[in-house]
Amino acid sequence: MTRALIIVDVQNDFCEGGSLAVRGGAQVAADISDHIDGQAASYDYIVATQDWHIDPGAHFSEEPDFKDSWPVHCVADTKGSEFHRDLDTESIDAVFRKGQFEAAYSGFEGVKAPDDEVPTGDQKLGGGAAEVDEDPMTLDDWLQDHEVDDVVIAGLTTDYCVRATALDAIQAGYGVTVLVDLVRGVHDDKAEQALEELEAAGVELAG
């Protein structure tokens, strides 16, 4: 059985000080790093998703409702779109960017970043805004190519991108676990509802 950790959108704009900050986002970044440090042997692969907006239309609004429209965030090639400094990126095998020209919540809507832009401890992502891949690789493509059976999900946010990624993973036929101590939500009540929905859909909730 082949297992992958999917780190969802642990980016500067979703952590304290960012344009769409989630309370506890920076702590999630640090806690995921600790998890990787202690549990790396549990995973065959580690991948990450990244909001990467260029012109996402009505996803951005000057008067956001914080449900379907949002303040400007995670604009491609800006500091806000970079992974948070407390997230250890050295073990990440591939990065999948989503939402370039439309709203996109699920990591399964993302396409693979160029290999030379996958971050390590000495690199940052960048340079992707102007590039168009004529045959992009999706997250599902990559997982299938690497014969992944089970995915474990952590990151931001519980009620939006974590939820959507987990539901799409279930739909695609993977065994799915969400690490509830390594996620945070935008809205506390919706985050709780999202976890209940995921469990009902067949997602395992683990501490």
Give the catalytic positions in this structure.
9, 98, 161
- Taking only the tens place, the pLDDT of each residue in 164-201 is 999 999 999 999 999 999 999 999 999 999 999 999 99
CA pair distance 120, 181, nearest whole angstrom: 25
Residue 206 CB neighbour total at 10 angstroms? 11
Residues whose CB falls within 8 Å of the CB of residue 22, separated by 6 or more in sequence, listed in order: 14, 15, 156, 157, 184, 185, 186
Q: Would you write out the chain's pLDDT as a tens digit for each of its 207 residues?
A: 899 999 999 999 999 999 999 999 999 999 999 999 999 999 999 999 999 999 999 999 989 988 889 999 999 999 999 999 999 999 999 999 999 999 999 999 999 998 777 664 444 444 444 444 567 899 999 999 999 999 999 999 999 999 999 999 999 999 999 999 999 999 999 999 999 999 999 999 998
User: Which domains, and CATH codes, for the chain?
Assistant: 3-206 (3.40.50.850)
Instruction: Give residue 115's pLDDT.
Output: 77
Residue listed under structure tokens 């992974």: 83
- Taking only the tens place, the pLDDT of each residue in 133-155 is 567 899 999 999 999 999 999 99
